[in-house]
Amino acid sequence: AQSVSQHNHHVILSEAASLELGCNYSYGGTVNLFWYVQYPGQHLQLLLKYFSGDPLVKGIKGFEAEFIKSKFSFNLRKPSVQWSDTAEYFCAVLPFSGGYNKLIFGAGTRLAVHP
Amino acid sequence: DGGITQSPKYLFRKEGQNVTLSCEQNLNHDAMYWYRQDPGQGLRLIYYSQIVNDFQKGDIAEGYSVSREKKESFPLTVTSAQKNPTAFYLCASSIDTGPVELFFGEGSRLTVL
């Protein structure tokens, strides 16, 4: 069965530290990749996405992610986190195997950034 | 403002009762979805609808039912047959069911007492 694995369930960082959240998926075909973020008390929103082209994609608020096809990975990075980045982050994969939208979500990573 | 409105935000029910969660969107999106979010499990798809009067089961449809009589509305009923209904429920929509962005509502938290 297809799955998405996020390696860290909880991450605690100090402001200005660098961030890397891991995401691996199990699907051998073409995929579209997403990172969603859920800030405390807010709805899930799209952080960035990869469909094709440059495997290094940039999103909102200084986040970026790199698609490494050979490793089935789509890790999220930010060089210097802020307290306002405290949120839950979800990686999601859409296998390009059908005509319908069926995202597969990872379990999420809760990030806490301390001032 | 365009978006997705879910209601109620918090809901309590007794065991054996059905409850309906509302989801309304004014984004003119064709596709709508219901997800269930549990701690440590991410989001799991309950039902989705590609177009009015059509809907399909997702990965965990047992104990749930939906309807799609209007483009902007996709209510979810949690029936008494759902064995573990306490959860956070998220409604989402997208312009179609291709590889496009999902827009989410703020969610409804259901607690069964």
Biggest alpha carbon distance in chain B? 39
What would the pLDDT profile of B2-58 be if each residue is shown by its tens digit? 799 999 999 999 988 999 999 999 999 999 999 999 988 889 999 999 999 999 999
Distance from CA of B80 to the nearest CA of A (A): 26
| pLDDT for the residue numbered A46 | 92
Tell me what the mean pLDDT of segment B89-93 comes to.
Answer: 95
Interface of A with B (CB under 8 A): 4, 6, 9, 32, 34, 36, 42-46, 49, 51, 90, 94, 96, 99-103, 105-108
3-class DSSP state of A84: helix
**Touching A: B residues 63-102, CB under 8 Å:** 90, 92, 94, 96-102
| N-terminal to C-terminal alpha carbon distance within chain A | 41
**B100 has a pLDDT exceeding 80:** no
Q: Could you give the percent of chain A with pLDDT greater than 70?
A: 96
| pLDDT for the residue numbered B41 | 83
Distance from CA of A55 to the nearest CA of B (A): 17
Q: What is the rounded CA–CA span in Å between residue B85 and residue B94?
A: 25
| pLDDT for the residue numbered B69 | 97
What would the pLDDT profile of A25-81 be if each residue is shown by its tens digit? 998 888 899 999 999 988 899 999 998 899 999 999 999 999 999 999 999 999 999
Q: What is the rounded CA–CA span in Å between residue B15 and residue B23?
A: 23
Task: Provide the CB-side half-sphere exposure for A34 (13 A, CA).
Answer: 22
Task: Residue B89: list chain A partners with CB under 8 A.
Answer: none
What would the pLDDT profile of A67-115 be if each residue is shown by its tens digit? 999 999 999 999 999 999 999 999 999 887 654 467 889 999 999 999 9
Nearest CB to B42 within list A42, A49, A105? A105
Task: Residue A99: list chain B partners with CB under 8 A.
Answer: 97-98
What would the pLDDT profile of A1-25 be if each residue is shown by its tens digit? 778 999 889 999 999 999 999 999 9
Q: What is the rounded CA–CA span in Å between residue A98 and residue B102?
A: 17
Q: What is the rounded CA–CA span in Å between residue B23 and residue A75?
A: 32
Question: How many Cβ pairs within 8 Å bridge chains A and B?
Answer: 59
Average pLDDT over all residues of chain A: 91
- Distance (Å) of CA B78 to CA A68, B5, B8, B51, B74: 40, 18, 13, 21, 13
What would the pLDDT profile of B58-89 be if each residue is shown by its tens digit? 989 999 999 999 999 999 999 988 889 999 99
Distance from CA of A52 to the nearest CA of B (A): 11
Confidence of residue B1 (pLDDT cuts 50, 70, 90): low
* Partner-chain contact A9 B107, CB within 8 Å: no
| pLDDT for the residue numbered A7 | 87
Task: Provide the CB-side half-sphere exposure for A18 (13 A, CA).
Answer: 4
